A and B are shown apart, each in its own frame.
Chain A
Amino acid sequence: MSETTTTVRSIGDSTDTGASDVQQMSMQQALNRALDEVLAENPKTVIFGEDCGRLGGVFRITDGLQAKHGEERVFDTPLAESGILGMSVGLAMAGFHPIPEVQFDGFAYPAINQIVCQIARMNYRSRGTLPMPITLRVPSFGGIRAPEHHGESLEALFAHVPGLKVVSPSNPHDAYHLLKYAATRPDPVIFMEPKSRYWQKGPVDVAHAAHGQATHDAGVDDGGSLTGARVVRDGRHLTLVAWGAMVSRCLQVAELAAEDGIDVEVLDLRWLKPIDAEALARSVGKTRRAVVVHEAPLTSGLGAEVAQLITQSCFETLKAPVERITGFDVPYPSGDLEDEYIPNIDRILFGIQRVLEYRRG
């Protein structure tokens, strides 16, 4: 309940944003504020889904928005994901900018037909006359001891579909800016929110997309560009590539590795489609070693795509094959086994060790 109170206050504060106004807020608050501002800035924006209205969403991401912007802008739908996404198509055709929510990752499956066959293809089918400016918010990934179908990682599935773009923020600042950016694009974006990170606080500079406390070399993308990856920790020996909730875990790993004299760079991919291939080339071109970390199962996971992009650009200088530390090729397990499934610090450290110890021949 205290979280709800905090959120309502954050909406009220949204009007007194000053330049370089850095505030501490949780990702839930940052997302809520971004939606509040998008609603205020674009009268064609509509937010809807299961329990998004009066309740404010099961994760409270839309908390207070219906009360502030009205039941026509923020509304509850019947409990049917295909209906929510199919309706988004029609609203987009009528000139609206829908921001639907699928309550949990696994509930996107009943809507796959509408996402893949309709949302992703309507611009193409209509020869560009019917764009689909739909931002589909999906609370994603695991780590909260949830029931079955509440901990899925769907990025590879979505990224494989022509016509979709996919993004996942790892921290409150990026959550705020990337959501505002996605919600003003003319193409469909799957916005994957790391639900295990909703309540972690961090600095958010609402006035500047660039991260003010960036520590890396000048010339390296510091996140000012909202379309690319971001180096969140500079390092010389190896690049950890991650997104969503795995970024903070990789930062922990990097601190531990530093105690052993291993200088790890952490690259937050952010955009999973399109992937920032230049950022990968820049980082791994420097470190010459890479480990990709994701929660999704290994086989045909996005790590394979990342590894290929790195190989393509850095083959001549790579010191070792790109390692993938991922979930296993099993259905997402119950909470008791969750920590065995999600890449943990030890598994990532072992992966780093294998890459560092690799010798040719």
Chain B
Amino acid sequence: MTTEPALAAVDDDAAPLTHHQLRELYTLMAAVRHLDTSAVAWQRQGIIPGYAPELGQEAAQVGSGYAVDRTRDFVFPTYREMGVARAMGVDMVGYMSTHKATWHGGMYNPLESRFAPIQAVVAGSVLHAVGWAHGQTLSGAPDMGVAMTYFGDGASSQGDVHEAMNFAAVMNAPVIFFIQNNGWAISVPTDRQVAGGSVAARAAGYGIPSLQIDGNDVVAVYEATRSAFAHCRAGNGPVVIEAMTYRRGPHSTADDPGRYRTLEEERLDAGGDPLERFKQRLLAEGVADEAFFAAAQRAAEEEEEAIRAGIADLGPRPGSEMFSLVFQEPTPALQSQATAWREESEHV
């Protein structure tokens, strides 16, 4: 469903996905699915203290992340974009380190990854994307970089989302607002969260073109995101994409969905599994065979083992980093606290 105003017509780079690309998308989704379910197991096994699963959102995350041009675009995630990170090639040990409680923002380099530090404030980074995008306009480079900011139906209630969309439209900033409407904000369903039932529908009020798409169809997600990038890159201003999906797991490993929804409701509301759905499509279209899927699963398992080993090897960061990373130019008071901490901790 497209609401007015429409995306600028773009036909560059709009060729259908090749079979190779389709298989690559599946491989990514399989890796993300396996890492995600494994991370929940890691938490149960005491390897990590917590995790926010994205189970069921693989198509929305991989499809959109796959459309990013890592040479010039920049992504602003929340805390549930593991699939985007994986699709963009972020170092996954560095990514998962946030869930190991190693460092809040993760240990990956955000500048090199083109993936901002993990953000725990819902809607916190939406305005950052607008500022970064406006910076591209100010820099005046042709074929400019585009910011893509992720948030959910819950975050759409935050005032910062309104300010961000309004700023972006007023300044014609090259930014994609990518909403994963996964039906739930912890325990509160979308119908108690989003008046009118659609975040995308709000875009019209800002004069921003919007797309409400099937977020469980990875090809549809990729194509919508690709066209949004082309729209922004050509200087046409922001785009809103609302990918309709379903949070099949708990909000986090500390959550108990049984307190607010039944298994029967989950089964009915979740619809088809995006990974299985894509698999059936690739089989039906002759793009891949069972041997390919088995190989993809093996690769996912090997990848998870390597990441788990990397996570296990992560020791705690030196306590001195608590002090040394606050400022570029530390204050005398902070330096003296660091000195006192070091002396007292060493003498214990």
Contact = CB atoms under 8 A, between A and B. Distances in A.
Given A87-B127, A89-B128, A91-B131, A113 B160 contact: yes
A223 B124 CA distance: 39
A90 B329 contact: no
A123 B327 contact: yes
Interface string B111-130: 10000110001001111111
Contacts of A55: none
A85 B126 CA distance: 12
Interface string B285-329: 000000000000000000000000000000000000100011111
Most chain B beta carbons < 10 A, residue from A90, A98, A125, A162: A90
B163 A86 contact: yes
A216 B103 CA distance: 49
Interface string B89-127: 000000000000001110101110000110001001111
Contact size range, A:
35 or more
A76 B117 CA distance: 29
B271 interface: no
A72 B138 CA distance: 6
A186 interface: yes
A79 to B, nearest CB: 10
Contacts of B128: 86-87, 89-90, 93, 118
B136 interface: yes
Contact of A82 (B105, B111, B127): B127
B272 interface: no
B328 A87 contact: no
Interface in A65-90: 72, 77-78, 80, 82-83, 85-90
B166 interface: yes
A187 B105 CA distance: 18
A59 interface: no
A17 to B, nearest CB: 27
A60 interface: no
Interface in A163-209: 163, 165, 185-187
Contacts, number: 137
Nearest to B321: A127
Given A122-B117, A125-B105, A127-B103, A87 B110 contact: no
A93 B116 contact: yes
Contact of A80 (B131, B166, B327): B166
Contacts of A88: 131
B31 interface: no
Interface in A293-351: none
Contacts of B321: 127
B332 A94 contact: no
Given A90-B130, A118-B121, A126-B117, A83 B111 contact: no
A274 interface: yes
B331 interface: yes
Interface centre among A77, A96, A127, A187 (most CB of B within 10 A): A127
Contact of B127 (A83, A98, A127, A165): A83
Given A77-B167, A86-B163, A277-B333, A46 B326 contact: no
A93 B131 contact: yes
Given A95-B135, A113-B124, A124-B325, A165 B331 contact: yes
B218 interface: no
Interface stretch (A5-13, A128-136, A242-250): A128-136
B328 A90 contact: no
A273 interface: yes
A125 B289 CA distance: 44
A183 to B, nearest CB: 14
B170 A89 contact: no
Interface in A96-123: 96, 98, 113-114, 117-118, 122-123
A100 B105 CA distance: 25
A114 B127 CA distance: 9
B173 to A, nearest CB: 9
A90 B130 CA distance: 7
B164 interface: yes
A90 B325 CA distance: 19
A275 interface: yes
A229 to B, nearest CB: 12
B134 interface: yes
Contacts of B167: 77-78, 80, 83, 87
A127 B105 contact: yes
A163 B325 CA distance: 9
B159 interface: yes
B29 interface: no
A125 B111 CA distance: 13
B151 to A, nearest CB: 13
Contacts of A114: 124, 127, 160
Contacts of B105: 124-127
Contacts of A126: 105, 110, 116-117
Nearest to A122: B117
Contacts of A275: 333
Given A94-B136, A113-B121, A123 B331 contact: no
A186 B121 contact: no
B82 interface: no
A91 B132 contact: yes
Contacts of B333: 274-275, 277
Contact of A130 (B111, B160, B329): B111
Nearest to B133: A90
Contacts of A87: 127-128, 130-131, 134, 167
Given A80-B167, A123-B325, 5 more contacts: A83-B163, A93-B74, A122-B117, A123-B327, A130-B116
12 contacts: A80-B166, A82-B159, A83-B127, A87-B130, A90-B127, A93-B128, A93-B132, A113-B121, A118-B125, A123-B325, A130-B110, A163-B327
State the 8 A-B residue pairs at the shortest beta-carbon distance, nearest first.
A90-B131, A86-B127, A94-B135, A125-B105, A87-B131, A83-B163, A90-B132, A274-B331
